[in-house]
Amino acid sequence: MTLKDVAIELKKYSTVLIFCHNRPDGDTLGSAFALKHALEQVDGKIADIVCPQPVPEKYYALDFIGKTLLPSDVTKKYSCHIALDCASEMMLGDSYGLFVKNQVTINVDHHVSNERYAKFNYVDDRASCCEIVYGLINYLGREVNDSVANSLLLGVVTDTGNFMHNNVTKATLQTASELVEKGASLNKISYAMFKNQKIERAKLYAHVINGIKFFEDGKIAIISVFKRDFEKFSATQDMTEGFIDFPLSIEGVEVAVSLMETKDNAYKISLRSKGKVNVNEVASSFGGGGHVLASGCLIHGFYEDVKDKILRAISINF
Ligand SMILES: [Mn+2]
């Protein structure tokens, strides 16, 4: 199905429920709010957003990002369900059961590992899902006003690490340029995302970076965040977003790994590569996935075992 077909399909429905992924980031939230702002330009159209967790606090400074519903808050029936930036059933988390309840499900995403779990699927390998949603809104014939433009730029900025990752293409910059022209503020978004962290996050960051470990002659760097660390610094799990950029920035490091203890003996693994290792393959071998240079998965077990498993999987992919 083409993106235009998605727009034609979407136009049929007057009430739409938009799904964000587990541990929401700027791209899934930006995509969802852009589509909501665009759809609701037409009288009588209702677009609500559901997410397994509430919107993290750092987005509160951005007035175009509002509140989202938890799956348990959803009581109404919608004519269509659409997931944005969700590569797999697993990424929908606690919303998955709700997602599949509708006859009409749409999946719009930019992850190469996307599992095509919906009735209608559109996947394009772009730097951010927001780039795709920009195209979708144009096909819908809706105005890219201030709030739409800002929401979309949020996803572009966060998924490209402020235009520094190697997923940035001419199209990414073209999109960003058009969004700025239409009223998006790059400065406001970048400041809120990268230059205004909580003191709790700063303290947790210092602690985690202090515990960095190197393997394979310095080619692999691992950082670990334990449940006790969150308690010690009164920090929350969503605050670790971006931690992994530091180990990857070290000379000689080819793969950076973050192990975050989310529950007892359960670790959320994030992987970043400079190019020599396809970390999508590494993550896929544990049931996860993502992109060639940025991927993730969940592994159950004791810390040392989990660490050894992931090290072995990376080593054989060198
Ligand atoms: Mn994304």
Each residue's pLDDT tens digit, 218-247: 999 999 999 999 999 999 999 999 999 999
pLDDT of residue 70: 98
User: What pLDDT shows up at residue 173?
Assistant: 98
Tell me the fold of 199-315: Diaminopimelate Epimerase; Chain A, domain 1 (3.10.310)
Domain parsing of the chain, residue ranges: 3-194, 199-315
User: 188 C-alpha to center of ligand 1: Å?
Assistant: 20
Residue type, 197: Q
Q: Identify the helix (H) or strand (E) that includes residue 209.
A: helix 199-210
- What pLDDT band is residue 192 in, cutting at 50, 70 and 90? very high
How many A from CA of 86 to the centre of ligand 1? 8
What's the average model confidence in pLDDT over 48-77? 97
For residue 158, how far is its CA from the centre of ligand 1 (angstroms)? 8
Gap from CA of 27 to ligand 1 centroid (Å): 5
Q: In 11-21, which positions are buried (b, 16+ CB within 10 angstroms) versus exposed (e)?
A: eebeebbbbbb
pLDDT of residue 78: 98
Cα of 9 from ligand 1 centre, angstroms: 23
Q: How confident is the model at residue 166 (pLDDT cuts 50, 70, 90)?
A: confident
Residue 136 has pLDDT above 90, yes or no: yes
Compute the distance from residue 85 Cα to the ligand 1 centre, in Å.
5
Residue 244 CA to residue 142 CA, distance in Å, equals: 37
The token duo for 314 is 């990376």
DSSP class per residue in 125-159: --S-HHHHHHHHHHHHT----HHHHHHHHHHHHHH
**CA 232–ligand 1 middle distance (angstroms):** 30
129 Cα: distance to centroid of ligand 1 (angstroms): 5
Looking at residue 87, its pLDDT comes to 96
Can you give the pLDDT at residue 174? 97
Q: How many CB atoms lie within 10 A of CB 60?
A: 12
CATH class for the region spanning 3-194: alpha beta
In the Cβ-directed half-sphere of 16, how many Cα atoms lie within 13 Å? 27
Mean pLDDT score, 32-51 = 97
Burial degree of 231 (CB within 10 A; 0-12, 13-18, 19+): exposed
Between the CA of 131 and the centroid of ligand 1 the distance, in Å, is: 10
Question: 167 C-alpha vs ligand 1 centroid, how far in Å?
Answer: 11
Q: Would you state the pLDDT for residue 253?
A: 98
With cut-offs at 50, 70 and 90, classify the pLDDT of residue 55. very high
Share of the chain above pLDDT 70, in %: 100
Expressed in angstroms and rounded, the spacing between residue 210 Cα and the centre of ligand 1 is 29
The answer on pLDDT for 107 being more than 90 is: yes
Distance 221 CA to ligand 1 centre (A): 24
DSSP state of 100: T
| Local confidence band at 82 (pLDDT 50, 70, 90 cut-offs) | very high
Distance from the CA of 271 to the center of ligand 1, in angstroms?
A: 15
- Rounded to the nearest angstrom, the distance between the alpha carbon of 227 and the centre of ligand 1 is 26
Mean pLDDT of the chain: 97
- Per the rule left: phi > 0, alpha: psi between -120 and 50, beta: everything else, 123 is beta
Segment 247-306, tens digit of pLDDT: 999 999 999 999 999 999 999 999 999 999 999 999 999 999 999 999 999 999 999 999
CA–CA dist 156, 168 (Å, integer): 9
Which percentage of the chain shows pLDDT scores above 90? 98
Query: Is the distance from CB of 41 to CB of 165 less than 8 angstroms?
Result: no
Beta strands in 51-136 (DSSP E): 80-84, 105-109, 120-123
CA of residue 83 to ligand 1 center, whole Å: 12
